[in-house]
Structure 1
Amino acid sequence: MGESAEWTRVDDGRQALDLLTASYHRHQFARHSHATYAIGVVTCGEEQFRYRGVLRRAGVGTLAILEPDEPHDGMAARPEGWAYRVLYPSESLLFDGRTERAIFREPVVTDPRSVHLVRSAHEELTAGVDPLAAQSKLAWALEAVVQRHGALRPAPGAPKPGDAAAGRKVAEIRDRLLADLRCAPSLRELAAGVELSPYHMLRVFREATGFPPHAWLVLERVCHARHLLASGRTPAEVAGAVGFADQAHLTRWFKRVTGVTPAAFRNSVQDAMRRPA
Structure 2
Amino acid sequence: MKPRGRVQMLRCALGGVEATVAHTTHAFARHSHDRFGIGIVVAGGQRSASGRGPVEARVNDVITVNPGEVHDGSPLDEHGRAWRMLYFEPSLVIGTVAECAESPLREVELTRPVLNDAELSLRFARLFSVAVNEANEGVSPDNLACEEALVALFSYVAQYHATSLPHRPGHIGPVGPVARAKNRIDDDPASASTLADLAAEAGMSRFQLLRSFAHEVGLPPHAYRMQRRVLLARQLIASGSTLADSAVSAGFSDQSHMTRAFVRLLGVTPASYAAAVR
| TM-score w.r.t. length of structure 2 | 0.84
* Matched residue, 2:138: none
Q: Which runs of 5+ in 2 are unaligned?
A: 136-140, 167-172
Answering whether residue 260 of structure 2 is matched by residue 260 of structure 1, we say no
**Do 2:38 and 2:85's aligned partners in 1 also have CA atoms closer than 8 Å?**
yes
1:99 aligns to what? 104
Equivalent in the alignment of 1:235? 243
Q: Distance in 1 between matches of 2:277 and 2:57?
A: 27
Partners of 2:11 and 2:185 lie apart in 1 by 27
Q: Does 1:131 align with 2:143?
A: yes
Question: Which residue in 1 is equivalent to 2:125?
Answer: 119
Instruction: Decide whether the 8 Å contact of 1:9 with 1:17 is kept in 2.
Output: no
Q: Contact 1:85–1:119 (CA<8 Å) still a contact in 2?
A: no
SS of equivalent to 1:224: helix
RMSD in angstroms over aligned alpha carbons?
2.5
Match of 1:19 in 2: 19
> In structure 1, what is the Cα distance between the partners aligned to 2:110 and 2:183?
29
Are 1:81 and 2:80 an aligned pair? yes
- Would the aligned equivalents of 1:5 and 1:23 in 2 still touch at CA under 8 Å? yes
- Aligned-residue sequence identity (percent) comes to 32
Q: Aligned equivalents of 1:27 and 1:77: distance in 2? A: 11
Tell me how far 1:53 sits from its aligned partner. 6.4
CA distance 1:102–1:264, shift in 2 (3 Å) = closer
Instruction: Find the residue that maps to 1:181 and give its secondary structure.
Output: coil
Displacement of 1:194: 2.7
Paired letter, 1:6:
Q
Superposition deviation, residue 242 in structure 1: 0.7
Deviant stretches of 4+, over 6 Å: none
Secondary structure, aligned partner of 1:232: coil
The AA in structure 2 aligned to 1:105 is T
**Within 2, Cα distance between the matches of 1:91 and 1:261?**
24
SS in structure 1 of the partner of residue 252 of structure 2:
coil
Q: Does 1:149 align with 2:149?
A: no
Report the Cα offset of residue 88 of structure 1.
Answer: 1.3
For 2:179 and 2:35, locate their aligned partners in 1 and report how far apart those are by CA, in whole Å: 19
Given the alignment of the two structures, is residue 109 of structure 1 paired with residue 115 of structure 2, yes or no?
A: yes
SS in 1 for 2:41: strand
2:128 alignment partner AA = H
Please say if residues 30 and 219 of structure 2, whose CA atoms lie closer than 8 Å, have aligned partners that are also in contact: no
1:119, 1:31 → 2: CA distance?
27
SS at 1:27's partner residue? Answer: coil
What stretches of structure 1 of length at least 5 have no aligned partner? Answer: 155-162, 271-277
Q: CA 1:53/1:239 → structure 2, altered by over 3 Å: closer, same or farther?
A: same
Post-superposition shift, 1:110?
0.5
CA distance in 2, matches of 1:66, 1:53: 9
Query: Within 2, Cα distance between the matches of 1:189 and 1:102?
Result: 33
One-letter amino acid of the counterpart of residue 146, structure 1: A
SS at match of 2:54: strand
Aligned to 2:9: 7
Instruction: Within 5 Å, give how 1:50-61 maps onto structure 2.
Output: 50-52=49-51, 54-61=53-60
The change in CA–CA distance for 1:149 and 1:241 in structure 2 (over 3 A counts) is: same
Aligned match of 1:275: none
Q: Secondary structure at the match of 1:44?
A: strand
Q: Mean alpha-carbon deviation: is it higher for 223-232 or for 185-194?
A: 185-194
Alignment of 1:216 onto 2:216: no
- The separation in 1 between residues aligned to 2:164 and 2:250, in whole angstroms, is 38
Q: How many residues align?
A: 259
User: Does the CA contact (< 8 Å) of 1:122 and 1:138 recur in 2?
Assistant: no
Q: Between 3-12 and 215-224, report the one with greater CA deviation.
A: 3-12
Tell me which residue corresponds to 1:225: 233
Distance 1:3 1:148, change over 3 A: same
Q: TM-score, normalised by structure 1?
A: 0.84
